């Protein structure tokens, strides 16, 4: 199978996950360079002006930003459609994607995952408990209240499984990584919806690569992923594990 | 003339400006509630979950996020087209819009305009000179180097005047507000391009409302705008000028 697309990004990033779920759902072949979060050599900096992941490479062409990449893949490969046909619903789906990328990104990634995972295990720094507590007790309930008002009791946001579900689900995978469980008594629709979305085949296929990454040192990750049959690219831009400026997980 | 669209937002916000330039260029009728930056009453918080401007209201329907709004307007009113027809170019245009919203947003709005304008005049707080200096001497040159490598020597980014030009131009209007001039000797293509973009009729029509806002106290802004013929809505969600949590200018 010839891979048309190459992704630079890590399986633990929700922004990368969005793109991978789109590729998987559309049945598109791809390779991945699973560079460690927040690192990347000079060549990576040239390909990604904001030093963010994911980056999509198609031949000698490069495209940045997870939302832009997902939209491009939809336009290049319209079936199965992941954006609603109705213009107003399509706009609302994009808004919910933006809400996930933006607010859930702040709370889940910077308030939780970065503090409890990346900072401790990648940089050997202490977790800032006040930041984590604020994310868990103040900011996350705001997001859950909002989502509870938007999400359907059954099925997906706009009929078929699509980009808004993919974006929201991608962030809730990282919520699970830090062992935060949505209180189903307080937010019943959201708790059931998240479970439904993450049970989709595209999410479960990726979960097989995500779980081991949570407990594998960076230097051994590629070998472990190869053993699991991940579509690894030969070249990597993430060998330089020295911290080279903060790279946002998007 | 019946206004189909209503915009909640301020003439000084680059994110609002993007949407207004799209409306102006497509010749669409609209009204505006020019609420002061960073304020807005409880009703505003209900319409804008992230307390950001602009918000688009169409009848009883509400849409958030400047990029999502612009894309929606393009799909509803395809002519004149503001997004490239070629899929790859269209993706690159969206990426440059995201780059402007994100990096130029950080540098121009938070590093410059907020510090030198909003903070001083709206909140009566002192400018943080170290933040301004870093934005001007370190962060802005990075953006200008990148833009100089991307921008055309003549004309616009993807042939016709479009969304990437609108996004970049919108931020450079705020660059002008803080009296930063792009060094034409060091970044000749960028300096000429910005001038070309801001000379477009949609930008100059809005400039007539922007200039007076820079020197008018908030309490008098609506009266001044009315005198200038701005398409003001009768209702306003920004009467509560007490600071109610930070509202991002997007």
Dump pLDDT digits (tens) for A47-105: 999 999 999 999 999 999 999 999 999 999 999 999 999 999 999 999 999 999 999 99
- pLDDT higher than 60, residue B80: yes
Domains B5-81+208-227 and B87-201 share a fold: no
* C-alpha–C-alpha distance, residues A63 and A45, integer Å: 13
Do B15 and B52 meet the contact criterion of CB atoms below 8 Å apart? yes
Of A64, A69, A75, the CB nearest to B87: A75
Question: Average per-residue pLDDT in chain B?
Answer: 90
* C-alpha–C-alpha distance, residues B168 and B14, integer Å: 9
Spell out which residues of chain B touch residue A61, defining contact as CB-CB under 8 Å. 88
pLDDT at A160: 96
Q: Distance from A132 to chain B by nearest Cα, in Å?
A: 20
* C-alpha–C-alpha distance, residues B222 and B233, integer Å: 10
Spell out which residues of chain B touch residue A94, defining contact as CB-CB under 8 Å. 65, 67-68, 71-72
* C-alpha–C-alpha distance, residues A4 and A24, integer Å: 13
| CB contact B94 to A (< 8 Å) | yes
Spell out which residues of chain A touch residue B150, defining contact as CB-CB under 8 Å. none
Of A67, A71, A146, the CB nearest to B49: A146
- Tell me if A91 and B69 make a contact (CB, 8 A cut-off): yes
DSSP classification of residue A179: T
Of B65, B91, B146, the CB nearest to A72: B91
Spell out which residues of chain B touch residue A91, defining contact as CB-CB under 8 Å. 63, 68-69, 71-72, 75
- Tell me if A91 and B102 make a contact (CB, 8 A cut-off): no
Do A124 and A63 meet the contact criterion of CB atoms below 8 Å apart? no
Fold held by B87-201? Glutathione S-transferase Yfyf (Class Pi); Chain A, domain 2 (1.20.1050)
- Domain residues of chain B, as ranges? 5-81+208-227, 87-201
Spell out which residues of chain A touch residue B87, defining contact as CB-CB under 8 Å. 72, 75-76
A11 CA to centre of own chain: 8
- Tell me if A95 and B50 make a contact (CB, 8 A cut-off): no
Strand order in the sheet with A55-58: A30-33, A5-8, A55-58, A61-64
pLDDT tens figures, B131-146: 999 999 999 999 999 9
Spell out which residues of chain A touch residue B96, defining contact as CB-CB under 8 Å. none
Do B200 and B166 meet the contact criterion of CB atoms below 8 Å apart? no
| CB contact B4 to A (< 8 Å) | no
* C-alpha–C-alpha distance, residues B152 and B192, integer Å: 10
Do B64 and B48 meet the contact criterion of CB atoms below 8 Å apart? yes
Residue B133: HSE in the Cβ half-sphere, 13 Å Cα cutoff: 3
Burial class (CB in 10 A: 0-12, 13-18, 19+), B137: exposed
Q: Distance from A73 to chain B by nearest Cα, in Å?
A: 9
Residues A5-81+208-227, CATH architecture: 3-Layer(aba) Sandwich (3.40)
Nearest to A175 by CA among A39, A21, A6, A12: A12
* C-alpha–C-alpha distance, residues B55 and B30, integer Å: 12
* C-alpha–C-alpha distance, residues B114 and B107, integer Å: 10
Residue B108: HSE in the Cβ half-sphere, 13 Å Cα cutoff: 30
What's the Cα-to-Cα distance from B108 to each of B100, B132, B196, B245, rounded to whole Å? 10, 9, 19, 21
* C-alpha–C-alpha distance, residues A12 and A24, integer Å: 16
Of A87-91, B10-14, B178-182, B218-222, least confident by mean pLDDT is B218-222
- Give the tokens for residue B33: 């509630």
Q: Which residue has the higher pLDDT, B32 or B234?
A: B32
- Tell me if A95 and B68 make a contact (CB, 8 A cut-off): yes
pLDDT tens figures, A151-202: 999 999 999 999 999 999 999 999 999 889 999 999 999 999 999 999 999 9
- Give contacts of B 23-62 with A, CB under 8 A: 49-50, 61
- pLDDT higher than 60, residue A106: yes
- Tell me if B64 and A103 make a contact (CB, 8 A cut-off): no
């Amino acid at each position: 199978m010839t891979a048309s697309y190459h992704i630079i990004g890590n399986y633990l990033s929700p922004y990368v996950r969005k793109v991978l779920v789109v590729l998987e759902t559309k049945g598109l072949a791809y390779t991945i360079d699973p560079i460690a979060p927040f690192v990347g050599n000079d060549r990576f900096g040239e390909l990604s002006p904001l030093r963010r992941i994911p980056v999509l490479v198609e031949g000698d062409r490069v495209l940045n930003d997870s939302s832009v990449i997902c939209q491009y893949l939809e336009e290049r490969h319209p079936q199965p459609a992941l954006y609603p046909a109705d213009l107003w619903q399509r706009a609302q789906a994009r808004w919910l994607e933006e809400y996930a990328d933006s607010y859930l990104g702040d709370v889940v990634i910077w308030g939780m995952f970065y503090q409890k995972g990346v900072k401790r295990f990648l940089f050997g720094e202490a977790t800032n408990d006040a930041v984590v507590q604020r994310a868990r007790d103040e900011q996350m309930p705001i997001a859950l209240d909002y989502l509870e008002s938007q999400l359907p009791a059954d099925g997906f946001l706009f009929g078929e499984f699509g980009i808004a579900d993919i974006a929201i689900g991608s962030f809730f995978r990282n919520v699970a990584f830090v062992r935060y469980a949505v209180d189903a008594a307080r937010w019943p629709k959201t708790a059931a919806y998240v479970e439904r979305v993450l049970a989709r085949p595209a999410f479960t296929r990726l979960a097989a690569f995500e779980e081991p990454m949570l407990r594998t040192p960076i230097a051994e990750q590629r070998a472990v992923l190869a053993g699991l049959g991940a579509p690894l690219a030969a070249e990597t831009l993430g060998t330089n594990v020295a911290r080279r400026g903060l790279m946002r997980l998007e």
